[in-house]
Amino acid sequence: MSKHDKRKRKKFSVGRISVYLFLFIASIVSMFPFYWMFVMATRPSAAYNSIPPTLTPGKLMIENFKKVLSQIDFFGGMWNSFVLCSVVTIVVLFISSLAGFAFAKFKFPGKNIFFVAILLTMIIPPQLGLIPQFFLISKAGLLDTLQGVMILFFLNPLGIFLMRQYISEGVPDELIEAAKLDGCSNFRIYWGIVLPIILPAFATLGIIVFTAVWGEFLWQFTILRDPEMYTIQVALAQLSNTHNIDFGMILSGVFWATVPLLVIFLLFNRLFISSITEGSVK
Amino acid sequence: MNSISKKETVNSIGKKEIIIKKKKFRSEEKKDMISGYLYIAPFFIIFAIIGLYPVLFSFYLAFQKWNGLSPMTFNGLANFEIVLTDPLFWKSVYNTIIIGIMGTAPQLVAGLVLAYLLNMAFLKFKSFFRVTIFMPYLTSMVAVALIFSVLFSNHESSLANYVLTHFFGLDPVAWAASEWGTKIAISIMVFWRWVGYNTIIYLAGIQSISNDLYEAATIDGANKFQQLFYITIPMLKPFIILTVFTSTVGAMQLFSEPTVFLGSDAFTRDEAMTIVMYLYRDAFRLQSFGTASATAIILLVIITLFAVINLRLMQGFGRKKRGVNK
């Protein structure tokens, strides 16, 4: 009886309630800007400074979005971003897994030096080569093209590092030896044995790459100047680039550009969160 | 390149000798070697073109006077002199450091606290808290800057000013046009976007700490706070070093948030001009590619400096903790 009482008292202790309270406030702080963005996206521009603040959705959801469409090529931007991110993700997965396979399972002179060299490229700040990169893309006639943007993103040292980890831990040497005895070429081993085993790791790396490229701004902003080629980030940035600012319209654009990613995240949140920890902790 | 073609000819010779078993074994090794080089080649080829060459060219360009059109002329150290004597450059360094400190230091502390609380055994709705706290990280920097540009607009009764005036009795702030207003608004958006990310990393770190340590400490009579300071934080050292390092480097490269937050004023006002914005403005607004490259190299020096100082400080912090522990 007394034991039971003790447990009951502990369940409602001040400490526990304050932990819940603290986390609850943190959740509200995290979520509020999303909610407020939604509210503003359904209200006239002037709603942002009304007193008391407007905290309930209005009726202008469609009108505001129509204004976005008249201001920027929203769907074109979304499509460009989608194509950019998809191609980059596929190419990075291919390059990284192939290189990761080589580093994990083959012996060749200079292997460690090459691997360290790849890791060292991670510490180069991306701005260091920005200007020559711009002229290189320009000389190649790739300004205002998605190809010009994507080539830089193909470089993903973290991907090679992660894939090497997965392949050396996840693919048994015996399996490769056996395939070799059967006369499989190395590429067939990669395609038929290694790839199926590391598919889950592809999900992790794929999420890291896709979201990183989706949100990147400086490089896309530098290479894409023609409104028709804008990705969604560059297009969104144009919304605030006028002096006559319509806040309902701006947040409507941001809202519809953000929602797809958030929905995907809510569906696969475990995968997303583990991709972050594996991407940075391993 | 040359070595690969050489190896290919060796391989074709190896194929002829495939009948002899001993040699077959050797050709197998050679094949692996060739595959190895071939498979890592794509990265290095792309890197040589779009990574290494531009970086080296930046070092060359930093000593040239160039507007992008007329031929380059050698300029010696003049570009560095121009940048280093430009008050606006020093303003951008100052802005970057101030926003960097205000945006990341509180974020790392809050991330640590949140991760510690999220790991408490009794806690229910864990995944709810985790998902909501992590969600801001998924909004792109452009989206964050736009949302906050409305939240923190200059208007007297924008939401941020409403809270200031009605709940704290303070005067409204011109968030996009005052020295500290812009810095605070940008720091807050950096904080909001990244705190969940760091929480998740710390949480993974905390979960990797063996429970035995806590049990032993509980038996020895250590309370929760002592456990936090003498077990959790010291054991998290590698994770803390990682996050401090990446946030420091990230903070020095701040560009998107202030650029989008200030919109059309971004490159004409100086309250929130960061080093990368200064570089971008020199290059793509003023067509002064030599000084912009010099700025890029100075930025590299600054980042390296900060990274080294940080790592030193962090190592010191770990040692001290362990000393106290003994």
Looking at the 3D structure of chain A, how many domains does it have? 2
pLDDT at B319: 54
User: Which residues of chain B are within 8 Å of residue A240 when distances are taken between CB atoms?
Assistant: 146, 149, 260, 263-264
Closest residue in A to B148 (Cα–Cα): A33
Residues A21 and A116 in one domain: no
For residue B291, what are the CA distances in angstroms to A197, B76, B93? 50, 11, 15
pLDDT at B5: 47
Residue A169 in domain: yes
Residues A112 and A204 in one domain: yes
Residues A59 and A102 in one domain: no
Closest residue in B to A255 (Cα–Cα): B143
Residues within 8 A of A (CB atoms), B 53-82 only: 53-55, 57-58, 61, 68
Nearest beta carbon to residue A125 from set B158, B263, B299 = B299
Six-digit token string for A207: 């999420």
Residues A52 and A93 in one domain: no
pLDDT at A74: 96
Domain map of chain B by residue range?
Answer: 2-61, 81-325
Under 8 Å CB pairs connecting chains A and B tally to 265
Residue B25 reports pLDDT greater than 70: no
Do the Cβ atoms of B284 and A222 come within 8 Å? Answer: yes
Q: What are the tens digits of pLDDT across the range B276-314?
A: 999 999 999 999 999 999 999 999 999 999 888 887 887
Residues A20 and A115 in one domain: no
Residues A52 and A92 in one domain: no
Residue A19 reports pLDDT greater than 90: yes
- The candidate with the shortest Cα–Cα distance to B318, out of B251, B192, B249, B229, is B229
- The candidate with the shortest Cα–Cα distance to A225, out of A136, A105, A138, is A138
Strand partners, A73: none
pLDDT at B20: 52
Q: What are phi and psi of B64, to 5 degrees?
A: -115, 155
Six-digit token string for B211: 């429970």
Residues A139 and A221 in one domain: yes
Nearest beta carbon to residue A131 from set B117, B122, B283 = B283
Nearest beta carbon to residue A125 from set B156, B264, B300 = B300
Residues A125 and A41 in one domain: no
pLDDT at B2: 46
pLDDT at B318: 52
pLDDT at B210: 86
pLDDT at A174: 92
Q: What are the tens digits of pLDDT across the range B68-97?
A: 888 999 999 999 999 999 999 999 999 999
Six-digit token string for B114: 């949140």
Q: What are the tens digits of pLDDT across the range B143-192?
A: 999 999 999 988 888 889 998 988 888 888 999 889 999 999 999 999 99
Residues A173 and A53 in one domain: no
Instruction: Give this prediction's pTM.
Output: 0.86
Residue B61 reports pLDDT greater than 80: yes
Tally Cβ neighbours within 10 Å of residue B280.
Answer: 25
Do the Cβ atoms of B142 and A237 come within 8 Å? Answer: yes
Strand partners, B65: B73
E-only strand ranges, A201-267:
none
Residues within 8 A of A (CB atoms), B 133-152 only: 133-143, 146-151
Residue A62 in domain: yes
User: Which residues of chain B are within 8 Å of residue A46 when distances are taken between CB atoms?
Assistant: none
pLDDT at B153: 87
Q: Write out A152-187 in H/E/C secondary structure.
A: HHCCCHHHHHHHHHHHHHHCCHHHHHHHHHCCCCHH
CA distance A255 to A253: 5
Domain boundary among A41, A66, A91: A66
**pLDDT mean over A70-86:** 95
Closest residue in B to A240 (Cα–Cα): B263
Range of lowest pLDDT (A246-255, B26-35, B131-140) = B26-35
Report the mean per-residue pLDDT for chain A: 90
Residues A89 and A215 in one domain: yes
Q: What are the tens digits of pLDDT across the range A179-199?
A: 999 989 999 999 999 999 999
Domain boundary among A42, A66, A90: A66
Residue A13 in domain: yes
Q: Which residues 6+ apart lie within 8 Å of B284 measured at CB?
A: A134, A222
Do the Cβ atoms of B162 and A51 come within 8 Å? Answer: yes
Residue B45 contacts A where some CB pair is shorter than 8 Å: no
Residue A258 in domain: no
- The candidate with the shortest Cα–Cα distance to B258, out of B196, B181, B195, is B181
Residues A128 and A216 in one domain: yes
Alpha helical stretches, state H, chain B: 2-16, 21-47, 53-61, 78-84, 87-118, 126-134, 141-151, 159-167, 179-207, 211-219, 224-227, 233-235, 237-252, 256-262, 275-280, 289-325
The range of the structural domain enclosing residue A188 comes to 72-239
The CATH classification number of B81-325 equals 1.10.3720.10
Residue A244 reports pLDDT greater than 60: yes
Residue A214 in domain: yes
Q: What are the tens digits of pLDDT across the range B188-211?
A: 999 999 999 999 999 999 988 888
Q: What is the CA radius of gyration of chain A?
A: 25
- A15 pLDDT band (50/70/90 cuts)? confident
User: Which residues of chain B are within 8 Å of residue A173 when distances are taken between CB atoms?
Assistant: none
The CATH number linked to A124 is 1.10.3720.10
Report the mean per-residue pLDDT for chain B: 87
Q: How far is B75 from chain A (nearest CA, A)?
A: 18
